[in-house]
A and B are shown apart, each in its own frame.
Chain A
Amino acid sequence: MAGTLAEKVWDAHVVRRGTDGAPDLLYIDLHLVHEVTSPQAFEGLRLAGRPVRRPDLTIATEDHNTPTLDIDRPIADTTSRTQIETLRSNAAEFGVRIHSLGDADQGIVHQVGPQLGLTQPGLTVVCGDSHTSTHGAFGALAFGIGTSEVEHVLATQTLPLAPFKTMAITVDGELPPGATSKDIILAIIAKIGTGGGQGYVLEYRGEAIRSLSMEARMTICNMSIEAGARAGMIAPDETTFAYLQGRPHAPEGADWDAAVEYWRTLRSDDDAQFDAEVVLEAADLEPFVTWGTNPGQGLPLSGSVPRPEEIADENERVAAERAIEYMGLVPGQPLRSIPVDTVFIGSCTNGRIEDLRSVAKVLQGRRKHDDVRVLVVPASARVRLQAEAEGLDRIFLDFGAEWRNAGCSMCLGMNPDQLTPGERAASTSNRNFEGRQGKGGRTHLVSPLVAAATAIRGTLSSLSDLDLPEGTDISSFDGTPLAPLDPRVLVQV
Chain B
Amino acid sequence: MEKFTQHTGVGVPLRRSNVDTDQIIPAVYLKRVTRTGFEDALFAAWRGDPAFVLNQDAYRAGSVLVAGPDFGTGSSREHAVWALKDYGFRVVISARFADIFRGNSGKQGLLAAQVAQEDIELIWKILETRPGTEITVDLDARTVTCDDVVVRFHVDDYTRWRLMEGLDDIGLTLEHEAEIAQFEARREPWRPRTLPAKHLPKVEIAAARPAGTPLELGPTRSA
Instruction: Spell out A's residues near B (CB within 8 Å).
Output: 15-16, 18, 20-23, 25, 27, 29-30, 36-37, 39-40, 43, 48, 50, 55-59, 64-65, 68-72, 77, 79-80, 82-83, 86, 97, 102-106, 116-118, 120, 123, 128-130, 144-149, 151-152, 155-158, 160, 162, 194-195, 198-199, 225-226, 228, 230, 248-251, 255-256, 258-259, 262, 294, 315-316, 318-319, 322, 381-382, 384-385, 391, 393-394, 397, 401-405, 412-414, 431, 433-436, 439, 486-492
Contacts and interface: CB of A to CB of B under 8 A. Distances in A.
Contact of B173 (A59, A160, A194, A226): A160
What are the 5 tightest A-B residue pairs by CB atom distance, in nearest-first order? A148-B107, A146-B104, A146-B78, A39-B33, A255-B190
The secondary-structure label for the interface of chain A is loop
A69 B126 CA distance: 53
A69 B33 contact: no
B70 A194 contact: yes
B180 A158 contact: yes
A37 B184 CA distance: 26
Given A105-B199, A130-B74, A412-B22, 5 more contacts: A27-B184, A43-B33, A97-B194, A228-B73, A404-B208
Interface of B: 15-18, 20, 22-23, 26-28, 30-35, 45, 68-70, 73-79, 81, 96-100, 103-104, 107-108, 117, 156-158, 169-170, 172-174, 176-177, 179-180, 183-184, 187-195, 197-203, 205-213, 215, 218, 220-221
Nearest to A104: B203
A228 B98 contact: yes
10 contacts: A56-B193, A77-B31, A86-B33, A130-B74, A144-B76, A147-B35, A156-B170, A195-B70, A294-B18, A414-B27
Contact of B76 (A37, A71, A82, A117): A37
A434 B26 CA distance: 9
A455 to B, nearest CB: 14
Nearest to A48: B170
Contact of B33 (A30, A82, A394): A82
A259 B207 contact: no
B124 to A, nearest CB: 12
A104 B69 contact: no
Contacts of A397: 209, 211-213, 215
Contacts of B187: 27
Q: Which of B97, B170, B192 has the most CB of A within 10 A?
A: B192
Contacts of B73: 194-195, 228, 294
Given A43-B35, A144-B76, A198-B99, A489 B203 contact: yes
A319 B17 contact: yes
A146 B100 contact: yes
A393 B104 CA distance: 41
A249 B192 contact: yes
B182 to A, nearest CB: 8
A16 B22 contact: no
B112 to A, nearest CB: 13
Contacts of A294: 18, 20, 73
Given A37-B77, A158-B180, A198-B96, A251 B170 contact: no
A36 B76 CA distance: 11
B3 to A, nearest CB: 17
A95 to B, nearest CB: 8
